[in-house]
Structure 1
Amino acid sequence: MRKYETIFILHPTMEEEAVKANIEKFKGVIETNGGVVDNVDFWGKRKLAYEIKKVNEGYYTLINFSANPELPKELDRIFRITDGIVRHIIVKEEE
């Protein structure tokens, strides 16, 4: 299993319960596909470095996880089809 980290930004107009539900959803995607969530770090609402689709702030969340090499592709697919995601990135951590 390889170590990865993902950071995603949720739309600032989402309610707090919807933000928490989305974080649990992504943790569930990782765990049901054979991954192990090591750490979830919710940073809260922050200002973006630049405007994206007329949005200039969002809810940031960092998740560190271990998984097989196929899982990031599935997680990326889920991020792309989920409403409310402003930006996301998945990075393989260096050994």
Structure 2
Amino acid sequence: MDVITERIYDYEIGMIVTPDATEEELSSIIDKVNTLITDSGGSVKETDIRGVKRMLYPIKKFREGLYVFQQFSVESNKVSVINNHLNINQSVLRYLITRL
């Protein structure tokens, strides 16, 4: 019987976090995403915190957001786990996961 394995792809997450998030909250968000990736058999390549920037339009009544980008590799069927976590996190205003 053949074992079906998923291909591992490179992805990038672009997140906008509430600007009033403390360093501990931001670290907690990033650590949780990193844990989800590594527990799914993936690896985190790079995390880039770009800082607080003004947005063109308000999102959930915030005019500014803290921009964070992460590059990682994981099996394609495991991306939904990360997606579900970011959907329920109140500190994440918006996010986008793209395959590189």
The alignment's TM-score, normalised by the length of structure 1, stands at 0.91
Residue 76 of structure 2 is aligned with which of 65, 69, 75?
69
> How many residue pairs get matched?
93
Measured after TM superposition, the shift of residue 28 of structure 1 is 1.1
What is the rounded CA distance, in whole Å, between the counterparts of 1:38 and 1:15 in structure 2?
24
**Equivalent position SS for 1:70:** helix
What is the rounded CA distance, in whole Å, between the counterparts of 2:55 and 2:31 in structure 1?
23
Q: Output aligned runs, 1:41-60, within 5 Å.
A: 41-60=48-67
Residue 40 of structure 1 is aligned with which of 31, 35, 47?
47
Structure 1 residue ranges, 4+ long, deviating more than 2 angstroms after superposition: none
Q: Output aligned runs, 1:1-95, within 5 Å.
A: 1-93=8-100
Measured after TM superposition, the shift of residue 46 of structure 1 is 1.2
**Aligned residues with identical type, % of pairs:** 28
Consecutive unaligned residues in structure 1, runs of 5 or more: none
The alignment's TM-score, normalised by the length of structure 2, stands at 0.87
